[in-house]
Amino acid sequence: MGKPALVIIGNGMVGQSLLETLSGLTHDYAITVFSAEPRPAYDRVQLSSWFSGATTEDLALTTEAFFTEHGIRLLLGEAVARIDTAGRCVEGVSGASVAYDKLVIATGSYPFVPPIPGNDQAHCLVYRTIEDLEAIRDSATSSKCGVVIGGGLLGLEAAKALKDLGLDTHVVEFAPRLMAVQLDDGGARVLRHKIESLGVKVHTGKATQAIVAGETSRYRLEFADGETLETDMVLFSAGIRPDDKLARDAGLEVGERGGIVVNDRCQTSDPDIYAIGEVALWSGRIYGLVAPGYEMARVCAAQLTGDGSRTFTGADMSTKLKLMGVEVGSIGDAQGNAPGATTCVFEDGPAGIYKKLILDAEGKKLIGAVLVGDTADYGMLLQYCLNEMALPQQPAALILPASSDKPSLGVDALPDSAQICSCNNVTKGDLCSAIAGGCTTVGGLKTDTKAASSCGGCAALVKQVLDAELVRQGIEVNNDLCEHFAYSRQELYHLVRVHEIKTFDALLEKFGKGHGCDICKPTVASILASCWNEYLLKPQHAGLQDTNDYFLANLQKDGTYSVVPRVPGGEITPEKLIVIGEVAQRYDLYTKITGGQRIDLFGARVEQLPKIWSELVEAGFESGHAYGKSLRTVKSCVGNSWCRYGVQDSVAMAIFVEERYRGLRSPHKLKMAVSGCTRECAEAQSKDIGIIATEKGWNLYVCGNGGMRPRHAELFASDIDDDTLIRYIDRLLMFYIRTADRLQRTSVWRDNMEGGLEYLQDVVINDSLNIAEELEHQMQAVVDTYVCEWKRTIEDAQALRRFDAFINDDSADEHIVYVRERGQKRPARPEERQQLMAEAQPVRFDPQARTEKGEPA
């Protein structure tokens, strides 16, 4: 008997979610996936970001490697022609036939194109797949004006895309208001005003009757009321229809208006066939949102793996989103259709804010809400609504502008079953048990529970639950750096700045106690260096430094050090390469190429470091700061000077950036990379700062990480010029240095940041804290005071004395012993060392050993 065969039709967001859920469960299915599209699942919710700089890769939700890793057969570009329920097999359009024991239909939906004469012309397009986006982009190159037919959620997203493409953009809606499903008249009016102020023309109550040849443009729309509108392109976004043709043809039960009928287990009328996502009709409803689709995927995965108890019980259709920069939220019965419903409305016309509460007949419970222009209250209101909680005495106060007496939800009142994160189905109870298990940060909760890790909409609520729960469980979060300072790193940074403190002793005297330790000393040394950039080995700073900073080299396991000269951007002349080779040969250093396009020389004893560096500095090398919590390297691809595909000079930019930020002391090490085109050969999206060339300038990615916990960098700004790029990096890095915890990489810093990427963009790009100038100024001060630490050290007789192996003796450490392997030395293992030391006994304390340049192996 072979494994049971599971076939999944469709690899959209929900289909992929099913695969990921299954991969985390125990099962023995042999899985085959049919995907009509030519690429694995991508994020359809974020499609419009494709026009503001995100690449197809950015939108990807998975990779082909995922399928290989889990042994899943993926048939890309293979649409399904037929389901044979009698023969229990699925036939692909190219003739492939795959037998199934269980089948899941996750074909999603297709865009509805109204039956208007002329709707099939070349520049009449839809908006759903990456191929659609490419067609829109191509059409836009020969168009000046574009019309979106449909003023719903997707229509407005599409309008943003046309706006980003530089078209004169119109939205035509049949209903009398925008977002007719989610908003009421008042909310729609405010939204319309805001969108029009962005330059998009809105036409409501317009029924398009024909698309004919235009006079001034390519086409002309003819409306039922006799008016017309000229345009070069038409984009249909008038709703979606479940893609249920396969099921229909196979004789499965479908709804009157489409959709495959499923039960609470997501089973169709054939119990071995399941349907999930936008194609499934549950209890007479189609859910056109991704969160209910994910929940169906979880239910289906449970059913397939034998957990029959998990069922789909419906989903809340509340939404919160940002349309063309306008925040919109809709909860529950937004139109107030329930009998006897009453409302509270707050409207601030000039600010473009509209909020409405819909209460039940008694005015005791919240049954719906509309929010336009400000959705800060969304999470709180949603909880009131979903959990049917009693409202405060004056419900209207909930939507008034923030003031001291504004009632807060009091997350304590929420039941443990309250769903906090709908994307990943995380309840308050899940969060509480993670907190009880020792998790005390938002970042930790994201990792442990996945809450707030998808859309991030619930981040503020997660934080509130965390804070309340820590208090309730009596867990005290101690941010004290160590026993000597009752302050966090961030607080110490401020104290150093504000009080202009220049030494550790002064800080300890004023704000600390005791003598200090190996936690606070290097932390304070780093803060002092970030602020004042003084020479690290000044006597008052020397004792604070970790051994790497003290000897300006990297300690290895045998007590020797490694040496990394700076090779900016990874560009090096043959002459310099030869010098490195000669130095390595002379001191018999083990030589290895690093991941950051540099050369690491291992096995240098402390007393050799000054001599090695004299030779390197003489040849024009500088310290590479491989030893510091500071900028390491800026990796680059070769760029447009040589590469056929490059669009910018990535090497020149990498060198510029590396030379600007070299030596900058920060809470942890910093890595950067610059790629010359979207192929991304420098792997910039795994760096703290990633810069990727575009035709128009640079895309800036931030807070990525490789290492133990890889994190993709996020797109921070698109198509910016050189000056803007540097300005943003200046501000971002200084803000990081100012606010991060000790040894916190930018990735964790970002994960813990309330408000997330948007907040960071607000601070750095929009200067919401009014500190941009100060941050730039502080960075410039560091840049202006840069001195190569090694150049300075070899000129300083006093500093050089510290590199003596022994203060009273010229001998070398007899404990450092090497053996040869693959043509180079490596530290002897303990047993090898014992033997070699015994043999070398007579020359152990030879004073000549120190002055000889070559070391006997």
Partner 1 sequence: MNSKAQVTGWADVCAVSDVIPGTGVAARINGAQVALFHTEDGFFALGNHDPFSDANVLARGILGDIGGKLVVASPVYKQHFCLHTGICLEDMAVNVPTWPVTVRDGRVLVAQQPSAQ
Contact positions vs partner 1 (CB under 8 A): 483-484, 514-518, 520-522, 539, 542-547, 550-551, 555, 557-559, 801-802, 804-809, 811, 813, 815, 830, 845
- What's the min distance (Å) between Cβ of 606 and partner 1? 8
How remote is the C-alpha of 292 from its chain's centroid?
Answer: 23
Burial class (CB in 10 A: 0-12, 13-18, 19+), 131: exposed
- What's the min distance (Å) between Cβ of 848 and partner 1? 16
The nearer residue to partner 1, 92 or 610, going by C-beta atoms, is 610
CB 618 within 8 A of CB 646: no
The nearer residue to partner 1, 551 or 621, going by C-beta atoms, is 551
- What's the min distance (Å) between Cβ of 505 and partner 1? 9
The nearer residue to partner 1, 228 or 834, going by C-beta atoms, is 834
- What's the min distance (Å) between Cβ of 847 and partner 1? 11
Handedness of CA 72, 292, 462, 438 (dihedral sign): negative
Helix (H) or strand (E) holding 357: strand 353-359
DSSP-based three-state secondary structure for 845:
coil
Q: How far apart are CA 786 and CA 788, in angstroms?
A: 7
The nearer residue to partner 1, 659 or 846, going by C-beta atoms, is 846
DSSP state of 610: H
Q: How far apart are CA 191 and CA 205, in angstroms?
A: 16
485 beta partners = 482, 512
CB 198 within 8 A of CB 163: yes
- What's the min distance (Å) between Cβ of 670 and partner 1? 22
The nearer residue to partner 1, 355 or 541, going by C-beta atoms, is 541
Q: How far apart are CA 742 and CA 488, in angstroms?
A: 8
818 beta partners = 827
- What's the min distance (Å) between Cβ of 540 and partner 1? 9
- What's the min distance (Å) between Cβ of 802 and partner 1? 8
Q: How far apart are CA 365 and CA 382, in angstroms?
A: 12
- CA distances (Å), origin 200, targets 60, 171, 194, 371: 29, 7, 9, 21
- What's the min distance (Å) between Cβ of 515 and partner 1? 4
The nearer residue to partner 1, 76 or 517, going by C-beta atoms, is 517
Q: What is the DSSP string of 818-844?
A: EEEETTEEEEPPHHHHHHHHHHTGGGT
The nearer residue to partner 1, 84 or 809, going by C-beta atoms, is 809
- What's the min distance (Å) between Cβ of 272 and partner 1? 58
Q: Which two tokens stand for residue 353?
A: 């804010």
- What's the min distance (Å) between Cβ of 751 and partner 1? 25
The nearer residue to partner 1, 274 or 627, going by C-beta atoms, is 627
- CA distances (Å), origin 750, targets 165, 696, 703, 727, 733: 30, 27, 7, 19, 12
The nearer residue to partner 1, 403 or 848, going by C-beta atoms, is 848
DSSP-based three-state secondary structure for 803:
helix
- What's the min distance (Å) between Cβ of 803 and partner 1? 11
The nearer residue to partner 1, 333 or 813, going by C-beta atoms, is 813
Query: What's the CA angle centered on 856, arms 853 and 857, to 5 degrees?
Result: 130
Q: What are phi and psi of 423, to 5 degrees?
A: -60, -45
Q: How far apart are CA 621 and CA 791, in angstroms?
A: 9
- What's the min distance (Å) between Cβ of 535 and partner 1? 14
Q: Cα Rg for the chain, rounded, in angstroms?
A: 32
Burial class (CB in 10 A: 0-12, 13-18, 19+), 101: middle
- What's the min distance (Å) between Cβ of 507 and partner 1? 14
The nearer residue to partner 1, 341 or 837, going by C-beta atoms, is 837
The nearer residue to partner 1, 67 or 602, going by C-beta atoms, is 602
- What's the min distance (Å) between Cβ of 651 and partner 1? 36
The nearer residue to partner 1, 92 or 516, going by C-beta atoms, is 516
HEC string of 539-579 equals HHHHCCCCHHHHHCCEECCCCCEEECECCHHHCCCHHHHHH
Q: How far apart are CA 629 and CA 636, in angstroms?
A: 21
The nearer residue to partner 1, 719 or 810, going by C-beta atoms, is 810
